[in-house]
Amino acid sequence: MRLHTWPRTAAVLMLMAASLRAGPDGSPVGEYQLKAVFLFNFAKFVEWPPHAFADPHDPFTICVLGDNPFGSALNDAVRGKTVANRPISIRLLSNSQQARTCQILFVSASEGKRIRGVLETLGNCCVLTVGDTDDFTANGGIVQFRMKDARVRIEIDAETAERAGLRISSKLLNLAEPAKH
């Protein structure tokens, strides 16, 4: 990441961690609109190893496993944007085997009973796993969204990220709470 973009990106992350109360036009911001922006911004603060992509021209892929709680918000958040000069692709998945080619995987609450199995299926693949169910990180996920006082908070399990071959920026780690096991 270029150094001069860090202050702007940090400001965006801090605003995202702020209240859900008002968007740019003063209208309420939905929880999943905010989480969609978080998912896009995670890509700026995580480094994937080269073998996480089959080809140098592959898109950066954000996947949703299970029911899609984002509606169009995730597509809206990434429209026209790139990550490391790669176009962004959004994929909706029906099974965890498909997730091995994703860079970021959001595991929907609809997968609640299968989360441990989903995460075990991925093993130490280079996939940033994100979820918002209770104990997501305790079950082996990397990033867990938590709502607290109408604010989106993030919890990160840095050790699990490291085992997956992912390097999370200290700037993002400083904004997050450590995982609770």
**Arithmetic mean of pLDDT, 5-22:** 48
Structure tokens at 111: 């997968």
Evaluate whether 86 touches 58 at the Cβ level (below 8 Å): yes
Evaluate whether 179 touches 137 at the Cβ level (below 8 Å): yes
Q: At what angle do helices 31-45 and 6-16 cross, to 10 degrees?
A: 150
What CATH number is attached to the domain comprising 35? 3.40.50.2300
Which domain covers residue 46, as residue numbers? 3-178
The helix (run of H) or strand (run of E) holding residue 61 is strand 60-65
Would you say the pTM of this structure is higher than 0.75?
Answer: yes
Report for 17-26, 59-68, 141-150: range of highest mean pLDDT: 59-68
% pLDDT > 90, the chain: 67
pLDDT digits (tens, 9 = 90+) for 110-150: 998 999 999 999 988 999 999 999 999 999 999 999 988 88
**Arithmetic mean of pLDDT, 37-50:** 95
**Arithmetic mean of pLDDT, 154-180:** 92
C-alpha atoms less than 13 angstroms from C-alpha of 61 in its C-beta half-sphere: 22
The helix (run of H) or strand (run of E) holding residue 62 is strand 60-65
State residue 64's pLDDT score. 98
Confidence category of residue 181, pLDDT binned at 50, 70, 90: low
The residues near 46 (Cβ < 8 Å, ≥ 6 apart) are 128, 161, 166, 167, 168, 169, 172
State residue 177's pLDDT score. 86
Confidence category of residue 15, pLDDT binned at 50, 70, 90: very low
Number of domains observed in the structure of the chain:
1
Calpha distance 159→162 (Å, rounded): 5
The helix (run of H) or strand (run of E) holding residue 144 is strand 143-148
